[in-house]
Amino acid sequence: MQLAQQFGITALLDRRFKYLSTGETRKTLLCQALMSEPDLLILDEPFDGLDVASRQQLAERLASLHQSGITLVLVLNRFDEIPEFVQFAGVLADCTLAETGAKEELLQQALVAQLAHSEQLEGVQLPEPDEPSARHALPANEPRIVLNNGVVSYNDRPILNNLSWQVNPGEHWQIVGPNGAGKSTLLSLVTGDHPQGYSNDLTLFGRRRGSGETIWDIKKHIGYVSSSLHLDYRGQHYRA
């Protein structure tokens, strides 16, 4: 319970794991790992999916763990995510630990190498996109998403409350908010994955939810990448 209080997840203890946001999931898994009081704690991309405030809180918590004597190994993709308390770093390239040493010296070398690599990429042309399938075509003026007074709740706790949202063709949106604000829940309504989509006044790509459409009628219009998608996917992979 003390760990839950320190990470601010006490209110989440009775919620099913699948209903946690990305940031809430990160905090919960970290608490679980710390319950065994490990001598070595390995964290793979611990800051992914966290908002700015949660990243700062996690960095401070990791610094506290470091000071308490726990050895930490962080696996990160971004140089700017390396916490200040880290003393040593290594660069992994082509499945080989290419460089190791003091963090500050190593980062200077790595940044120079990254800049040189970026310059080599200048002028590289991407392949032309595939032609969209004719069956996916929508009227030019058809709103892609229309949600009227949307409501989603878990155990009588509102996650979304009277939210109205419309996305028109050609518009670009950024959804921001702290962890647990309902961002992933809103997107799961749009992708057709949330069961409470049927109880809302929700129209996706011209089809009202619950009007006889299948989930694939919705998904054929969407390109979707998320950490929860990778977490939930349990299919088989076959080589073409």
Are the folds of 2-86 and 139-232 the same? yes
* Assigned fold of 139-232: Rossmann fold (3.40.50)
Neighbours of 113 (CB within 10 A): 14
- Mean pLDDT, the chain cut into blocks of 10 residues (240 residues total): 77 76 79 85 85 82 87 86 87 79 80 60 68 66 93 85 94 86 88 88 91 86 74 52
Return d(Cα 187, Cα 232) in angstroms, integer. 15
Return d(Cα 60, Cα 138) in angstroms, integer. 49
For residue 83, what are its two tokens?
A: 């916490």
pLDDT of residue 19: 72
* Assigned fold of 2-86: Rossmann fold (3.40.50)
pLDDT of residue 147: 95
Please calculate the CA angle 132-135-137 and round it to the nearest 5 degrees.
65
Please calculate the CA angle 182-186-190 and round it to the nearest 5 degrees.
165
Per the DSSP assignment, residues forming a β-bridge with 204 are 145, 207
Q: What is the DSSP string of the chain?
A: -HHHHHTT-GGGTTS-GGGS-HHHHHHHHHHHHHTT--SEEEEESTTTT--HHHHHHHHHHHHHHHHTT-EEEEE-S-GGGS-TT--EEEEEETTEEEEEEEHHHHHHHHHHHHHHHHHHTTTPPPPPPPPPPGGG---TT--SEEEEEEEEEETTEEEEEEEEEEE-TT--------TTSSHHHHHHHHTT--GGGGGSEEEETTEETTSS--HHHHHTT-----HHHHHH--------
pLDDT of residue 221: 87
Return d(Cα 28, Cα 47) in angstroms, integer. 13
Return d(Cα 87, Cα 74) in angstroms, integer. 12
164: phi then psi, degrees, rounded to nearest 5? -115, 135
Q: How many alpha carbons fall within 13 Å on the CB side of residue 68?
A: 14
Please state the domain extents for the chain. 2-86, 139-232
* Closest to 181 in 3D by CA, of 197, 198, 163: 163
